[in-house]
Amino acid sequence: MNRRVLLIGGTAYAPALAAVEAKRKTLVATVPDMGSARDIISTETFDFIVADLDTPGVEVDSVIRLAASAPLCAGVLIFGDMNTARARAARDLATALSVNLVGILVSPIRASDIARLLEGVSLTEEPERAGSAAILSEAEFLRGLMTDGLVAAYQPKIDLKTGRIVGAEAFARWRGPSGGILGAGAVLRLARQRGYMDVLAHRMLELVVAELGLWVQMGLELKVSVNVSTENLRRSDFVDVVTNLAAVHKVPPHLIQLEITESEINWDDAPLKDSMQRLNGRGFPLALDDFGTGLASLMKLSEVKFDEIVVDRRFTRTAVDDGPARTVLEGAIGVIHKLGLVCTCEGIEDAATRDLVAGLGADVGQGFLLGQPMVGTEFLELLDRQ
């Protein structure tokens, strides 16, 4: 099967890719910028996205997010020099979005280096071409969604003063045919393609609230955050769905925190704001995720009550080595506290970052150093050990 590669920018590296294309089963399409890349991704399927960071307007975060939205993309390869903090942040984002960051290459780049990285990745065949060999058919997706395919994984949220677990964030995972737990990237892409995101979000809420109900029966009261989209919130029945789930499973509303990404919120969207206010009124806490774009959102916080602000991981991941990022992080933590809200910092992968954010006054930490996402039974075992 030919490997289909999309090269964004990178005219200097075109000869190396052409050499790979000539010697191996590789087809390369080249576009000059991110806008062209988004256009072609909407109509074509690629196994790999290769991007040159020296191209104006090409940022590693944008490339990774593009790959997350691309059907059946097996990996991202980056050309360009990055400092350690920036590379860590890129890998952290790729992990969060279930994107395979296969490598970061710096000049001089050889055709053999490119071929080695691309050939080390197994490809997902397109359903139209692969028949039963496809990674996940629509029928398998729907069957798994309604049975045991979708799994909730819980990442611990740690009190940075005491080191104890004070909550968790729920992430979607998929149980593979052999029983192993897989990242949900392919599932999320299929759900977006086929219009099942609402179904997926509802099922995820069901799983988390049902598991929370079992924990409450065991005498454990722990707040769990569930990510919801603004599309979910705009549905006229969404608040009632959440309320009914809490009632059926006998979970107090204050244990079900709904996490909304800051950049998705249109503060002038009346149905969206109404849903958030109704959730407030029914006792469900709200968290503002990936906070970092600034004061516009803070000015609106008087209209909707948030309990927690989650600082964008880009500031957390780079603050140790980047003075301006550290200044922004310190300022954000200070403003959040002046508003009387809990400040959570994500993306903590090393002790230096943990110590820095704790020293700046953040309340809660989250990241691979403190605990990776794990299934419910493993999470309970971790709680027992603390």
Q: Could you tell me which residue, 121 or 207, shows the higher pLDDT?
A: 207
Cα four-point dihedral sign 225, 233, 146, 206: positive
Domain map (residue ranges) of the chain: 3-129, 136-385
Q: What is the largest CA-CA distance in the chain?
A: 64
Give the phi and the psi of residue 251 in degrees, each rounded to 5: -105, 125
CATH number for the domain whose boundaries are 3-129 = 3.40.50.2300
pLDDT confidence of residue 134: 41
| Residue 128 pLDDT grade (very low, low, confident, very high; cuts 50, 70, 90) | very low
φ and ψ at 125, to 5 degrees?
-80, 150
pLDDT of residue 249: 98
CA dihedral 352, 353, 358, 359 (to 10 degrees): 60
Q: What is the mean pLDDT of residues 232-245?
A: 94
| Cβ contact 230:263 at 8 Å | no
Residue 296 has pLDDT above 60, yes or no: no
pLDDT of residue 37: 86
Tell me the average pLDDT across 274-283: 96
- At 124 the pLDDT is 45
b/e sequence 96-132, b meaning 16+ C-beta within 10 Å:
bbbbbbbbbbeeebebeebbebbeebebbebbeeeee
The correct answer on CATH 3.90.420.10 for the domain covering 136-385 is no
- Check residues 13 and 259 and name the one with the higher pLDDT: 259
Overall pTM surpassing 0.85 (yes/no): no
Chain centroid to CA 20: 32
Write out pLDDT tens, residues 9-54.
Answer: 877 777 777 777 666 667 788 888 888 888 787 667 788 899 999 8
Residue-averaged pLDDT of the chain: 84
Equal fold, 3-129 vs 136-385: no
What would the two tokens of residue 42 be? Answer: 């909407």
The pLDDT value recorded for residue 120 is 64
